[in-house]
Structure 1
Amino acid sequence: MTTIQNVAIAGASGNLGISILHALLNSKAFNVTVLSRESSTATFPDSVTVVHVDYTSVPDLTATLKGQDAVVSAVGTAAINTQHPLIEASVAAGVARFIPSEFSADIDNAMSSALPVYQPQITVHKALQGLAQTHPAFTYTLIRNGVLLDWSMAKGFVIAFDSETPSLYDGGDRPLSVSNLASVGQAVVGVLRNPRETRNRVMYVHDLVITQNKVLAMARKLAPARTWNPVVVDTADLEARSRDAYAKGVVTIHSSLGLLIRAAFGEGYGGEFQRVDNELLGVGFKTDVDLEAMVKDAMDHTLVPGS
């Protein structure tokens, strides 16, 4: 495989999927096909081909993927397991590269890999590895980008700017790798532009490394009239509560949150990447000036005017 030209994307209407789709289109390097659920009413740019598919039907997906060089999956967390028919169809259709929907923590870290929230992704990894061994023409790339910074700040995950008592996980000084949505989209483009170097590999990318206390200090500087009295939260307690919920069969975004926080902020869980592949993938780094601008934007959208 020397070049990738035809790319199909699943989950293109989600927050991350939209960013990946825009990056693919802006690169002007690919012919892009969007795979959309048969029931979906989402709309897409005129420059892409939209095909409605049955994600449970391997024959339907196989026929759709004929002629595609790569498949990028950006399906949501709740739909991770639906990728298996898509992967099987990719192999049958002769797709050369599959990028699964991961885009998160360092799941190769021994402690993070033991968290139940990541078991669906790990099952997908094993399936891809097995298929790549038995079908040498089929390859994969896993992309890990840490916490999605712009999305997470808007949701109050890094610092809840609209709360007088925001949570500081394990004290707020744990460094963690973070990336904006647009940077993840650029990382996908970088993988597809470098198929040989990224073949059957995990690629790490981040915009910068932050701590909660650093972000909070910027918020205090930007809004000196505001008063924040942060509360230290033990991530081990959050993990225990989430595991208890899982044990009772309660597997939701809410019950998973403690596990995701543990992976990001817990000691030894690999929240800060020790190496990144930004240079190969053509992804630049952000500065503290960029970070402060992002903090200001998040605060402008969450704080009540005049507060």
Structure 2
Amino acid sequence: MEAIRNVAIAGASGALGSPIFQALLNSGHFNLTVLTRHSSEAQFPYSVKIIRVDYSSISELTQALTGQDAVVSVLTTSAMETQIPLIEAAVDAGVRRFLPSEFCANIGNPKAASLPVYHSKVQLHDVIRQKADENPNFTYSLIRNGPFLDWSLAFGFFLNLKGGETSLYDGGDRPFSTTTLATIGQAVVEVLRNLHETKNRAVLIQDLITTQNEMLAVARSVKPEIIWTPKNVSTAEMETMAQQKYASGSMDLVASVGFFCRSVFAEGYGGEFKKVDNDLLGIPLMSKADLEALIKSAL
């Protein structure tokens, strides 16, 4: 396949979009264009082309994407439906590779895919696969990375950073794959440089496989003055709560976290990736010392 040169990114100013944008920019391999809403006040380097768009207008998006080789979408979960016209426009504009806003658990696992929080992503898969089937020059890649390692540490998702009661999901011994924001950015760059090998499939990456109890042990070793009291939390009960909330129309963060914890920590939901594409993409695994440094920094 001819190399990707012109890349448009949507959602470049978000918590994940920003490091992906920086990775694409710093790689030196691409001419970047940022798509942003007309109302957005996000700032970008003067060297980067910015096109303000109405994400509901296929004609406006098609015009913006004309001449682009690839589109990277990092739009938020609440804006998943926005990607449908973006995909339509990408096909009309002749875009060759589309990376939708996947960046999540292994929803190739049927149990994880069944959780309502991922339904919009699964529905998008049907759309993008159909477009790829109908248009051989249009291809896609789905990047899956598990929970964001550094982001989740910083916000106390794995451990209560202040000490005291800290939740251990299903006992805290379930291994799970996790990836830093910077590594996800690197993966996006390398997917766009390995087009044939990543064509029309899921690409799984990880910085390491760990457990909550391993993280807690590291935290105790680097901050012995902090006292943690583990509390076992059932992900099955979290899912039940989340299902009830969604059924009543309360699709809030608490419910979404319930489903998310189920997909990461529950047995049989694919939280530990068995096969990854790190070697293909040139992404090394983190060491225990690297994990210790991250936890020490978060604390």
TM-score by length of 1: 0.96
> Which residue number corresponds to residue 255 of structure 2?
255
AA aligned opposite 2:56? T
AA aligned opposite 1:218? V
Equivalent-residue separation in structure 2 for 1:286 and 1:47 (angstroms): 33
Equivalent-residue separation in structure 2 for 1:183 and 1:288 (angstroms): 16
> Which residue number corresponds to residue 206 of structure 2?
206
Equivalent-residue separation in structure 2 for 1:234 and 1:219 (angstroms): 22
| Cα drift, residue 169 of structure 1 | 0.3
Query: After the TM superposition, which segments of 4 or more aligned residues of structure 1 sit over 4 Å from their partners?
Result: none
> Which residue number corresponds to residue 141 of structure 1?
141
Equivalent-residue separation in structure 2 for 1:102 and 1:155 (angstroms): 21
> Which residue number corresponds to residue 302 of structure 1?
none
Equivalent-residue separation in structure 2 for 1:106 and 1:181 (angstroms): 17
8 A contact 1:2–1:196 mirrored in 2: no
Equivalent-residue separation in structure 1 for 2:64 and 2:163 (angstroms): 48
Equivalent-residue separation in structure 1 for 2:198 and 2:16 (angstroms): 21
Cα root mean square deviation, aligned: 0.7
| Cα drift, residue 255 of structure 1 | 1.8
AA aligned opposite 2:180? N
Equivalent-residue separation in structure 2 for 1:212 and 1:99 (angstroms): 30
Equivalent-residue separation in structure 1 for 2:254 and 2:13 (angstroms): 22
> Which residue number corresponds to residue 238 of structure 1?
238
Equivalent-residue separation in structure 2 for 1:131 and 1:163 (angstroms): 49
> Which residue number corresponds to residue 226 of structure 2?
226
AA aligned opposite 2:133? Q
8 A contact 1:186–1:282 mirrored in 2: no
Identity of matched residues, %: 53
Equivalent-residue separation in structure 2 for 1:227 and 1:163 (angstroms): 5
| Cα drift, residue 110 of structure 1 | 1.1
> Which residue number corresponds to residue 114 of structure 1?
114
> Which residue number corresponds to residue 271 of structure 2?
271
Gaps of 5+ in 1: 300-307
Equivalent-residue separation in structure 1 for 2:225 and 2:250 (angstroms): 41
Q: Deviations over 1:23-51 (max 9, x none)?
A: 00111000000001100000011221111
AA aligned opposite 2:183? S
TM-score by length of 2: 0.99
| Mapped pair 1:87 → 2:83 | no
Equivalent-residue separation in structure 2 for 1:48 and 1:278 (angstroms): 29
